[in-house]
Structure 1
């Protein structure tokens, strides 16, 4: 299927690895000119080079979106070769901490990185989308927004905020031709997920090797109809659909990509 993205320019934040990398590569394969963003120049350049080697169009921008001045520079650089039509707010982070371990400073830092960073780009890039009468804003959320774990509460709360702001933005953009939606992944097998599960697996009796830990982790943490972790490309596919012409009637929506998560295990 042709998603009709040729001629569109997409900025995917945090696309030097993981879900963002998968999204950037799929959008480029669908014809969009992609701006790859990261904080590490070598990793960011490597993703862009992969896209170009596959016949796609990609440029790079490096910068920490947690800083107002740097975020402004990222937005400016992203539009050097043309206006941004698609903004995928993917960048974010978490630390696996207990309630007792999370300091007020950690709460503020996590909120700044995971929520305000996206707002900085929305405020700088979406007005021009509204003027042109076409645009897409995709916010990457997660199931922990509505089914939070007992650990890393600062991260759970920022996911809920991301979901909320995306719907608020959709209401603000009513009638403009610009849509705002959320893609809500379940547990996706990126490096950070594997590291976390491997770390906590032995203490929870799931085994010692990844082959032992993985099925037990799925059953204990994310029981779902597919009985596995998700893959980055499956999230990228949902993002690409919401960016396409076929999704013009979808706004303020949350698209769950979680295998049909059955319940919260926490």
Structure 2
């Protein structure tokens, strides 16, 4: 299917590795002119070079970093707010300072890019904002309280933005991944599996992890490409009638009607 992304300018924040990198690669393969963003210069430039994209460095948790990213990105048609942190705090160690830092990194960073780039989309009468959220936004667990809350805020702001942009030709939606097999998560679960005697290879432990830690209806972890496909659809002109929506890519982990 032709997603009609040829020539569209797309900024994917946090795209020097992991899920963001996969999203950037798919958008580039579909013809979008992609801007790869990260904080690690070598990694960011390497990903950008491999897909013929522009690279931009900047810490979106600061106004200065966001200004630099927006300046280099320039005219942006598609903003994928993917950048964020996954702190492993418990209620015992999630101090107010850590809550504030998580909110700054996971929520305000996206707000900064929205405020810098969406006015241009609105003036041109076309644009797409896709926020990467997650199931913990609506079904939080006991741990990770600051992270759970930051995801909820990301979902909420995306819908509020959709309402604000009604009738402008600019849409705002959420893609909410479940447990996705990216390198960082795989490392965490491989370590857990060795401690519990579940095996030493991903093929051995994936069924146990899914069954005991991250259950879903399909019995496996998702793949980054499956999330990227959802983002690419929402970024395309084909999704012109979709706004304020949450597209869950989680194997049915989150139940909803």
**Normalization by structure 1: what TM-score?**
0.92
Q: How many residues are treated as equivalent by the alignment?
A: 254
State the secondary structure of the residue aligned to 2:4: coil
1:31 CA displacement: 0.6
State the secondary structure of the residue aligned to 1:187: coil
Q: Which of 50, 65, 69 is matched with 1:70 structurally?
A: 65
1:102 CA displacement: 1.2
- Verify the 8 A CA contact 2:3 2:236 in the aligned structure 1: yes
State the secondary structure of the residue aligned to 1:61: strand
> After superposition, what is the alpha-carbon deviation per residue over 1:27-58, rounded to whole angstroms, capped at 9, x for unaligned?
01111000000000111111111102xxxxx1
Q: Which of 85, 102, 115 is matched with 2:107 structurally?
A: 115
CA distance in 2, matches of 1:189, 1:206: 20
Q: Which residue of 2 aligns with 1:209?
A: 200
Segments of structure 1 that go 5 or more residues without pairing to the other structure are: 53-57
Q: Which of 230, 252, 262 is matched with 2:244 structurally?
A: 252
Segments of structure 2 that go 5 or more residues without pairing to the other structure are: none
**Normalization by structure 2: what TM-score?**
0.95
Q: Which residue of 2 aligns with 1:161?
A: 153
1:31 aligned to 2:35? no
Change (3 A) 1:115 1:34: same
Q: Which residue of 1 aligns with 2:173?
A: 181
State the secondary structure of the residue aligned to 1:240: helix
CA distance in 2, matches of 1:183, 1:241: 10
1:96 CA displacement: 1.4
Q: Which residue of 2 aligns with 1:41?
A: 41
CA distance in 2, matches of 1:14, 1:243: 17
Matches within 5 A, 1:185-200: 185-200=177-192
